[in-house]
Structure 1
C-alpha cells in the first residue's frame, strides 16, 4: 500500500506557527505589567504561551494588582497593535507550505487562541486570506486550547472528520488540543520554545513542510 503524499486537510495554529507574534505579545505584556510594578519572568511567559487573554489575565492578576481589566486590556492591545504594524514577520516555512497545499487543493483552516480579527489580519499580511476556508478564533468558541473545541470546530467547518486532519502547532497547549481532537498533530520548534514541551505531538520538526504534515501508517495508529 502506497503512503499518501498529501495530507487530507490541515488546520494551522496562528501565533508562533504562522506568525512570529509571540515575541511581540511578550513585549506588550512586559511593558504593561511594569506599569503595575510587576516584572514578568521567563516562567510567566512560558506559562501563558498559547493561552487566550482571559486565562493570561487570571494568571497575572493572581500575581499583581493590575487594576481594571478592560483598561489593562485596552493598553495591552494598543501596544501590541503598534508592534504588529511595525514589526510583524511571518514564518516563511509555514507560508510556503500553505501556498503549496492550497495549490494542490488541500483544504486549510486556522484554529487560534487569538481573536478572529487578529487571525484575519495575519493572513492579510501574508496575502494568504484566499487560501484558508475556515477561521476559528478565541471569540468563536466557548472553550479554548488545550480543549479540542477549536480544532473540532475547524474540522467541522472544512467538512472533514477531525481524525483525517493534520494539526500544526508550536506549543504544548496547542499540541494537547490537536491530539484531543483526534488529529495527527505536528509540532514545529520555534525560537524560545522548549522542544521537550512538544513531546506529546505525533511528530516534532524543525521546519514546516508538506512532507512533514503527512502521517505514516504507524503514526496514524499511535
Structure 2
C-alpha cells in the first residue's frame, strides 16, 4: 500500500510518501518534501498525487520558486524508487493538465484533458499520442496489462492502446456511466450503471492478465 501524508509545522508543509508492506507490517518513508509558506511567499515542493508502480512511486508534485516577493509555481512528475540506494528523478517537468498517470518498466502514461500520451521511460521521448473526439473531455485511470494500456474516456467508454503497434481499440461501446478502471492482482475491472433507467442494477466487468 502507498499513500502521501502531510503535516503542518511552523508554517512549513511537510509531505511524505509512504509504503506499507502488510506481510511484514513494515512502514517505509521513501520521500519527503517541504513547502515553506513563511515570509510572504511559498518556496519548496508539495506532493499532490501518488501512483505506485513496479519499482517505486510516481508523484505529481508542485514546485514553488521564490523570486523577491513572488513565487513561481510549476508542476512535474517525479519518480521515487522503493530501493533507497537509487536516486529519485524528475520524469517530466512543466506539465499542465495532468489528470492521471501510470508506468511500468518501459513506459510512462499521462492521461490529460483531451489526450493520452505514452513516453519511453528511459529516453522521455513521446511514442504515442491519442486524442479524444472532444478536446475538453478527460482520460483517466490508466493501467498497463498484456502489453496494452487501458483507460477510460469521458466517463462512458473504455479503450486499450496496443503498446507494440500504437493501435487503439474499443473495449466497450459508449455507454451512460462507466466507473473508473480499478486493479487487483492479475485483473482489471470496471462497472456500468444505466442512470436513466434508475433500476439500481450494476454490471461488473473483468479483464484478466494473460498467463
In the superposition, the TM-score normalised over structure 2's length comes to 0.29
Which structure has more RCO (C-alpha within 8 Å, separation ≥ 6)?
Answer: 1
Largest Rg, 1 or 2: 2
Structure 1 or 2: larger strand share? 2
Structure 1 or 2: larger helix share? 1
In the superposition, the TM-score normalised over structure 1's length comes to 0.28
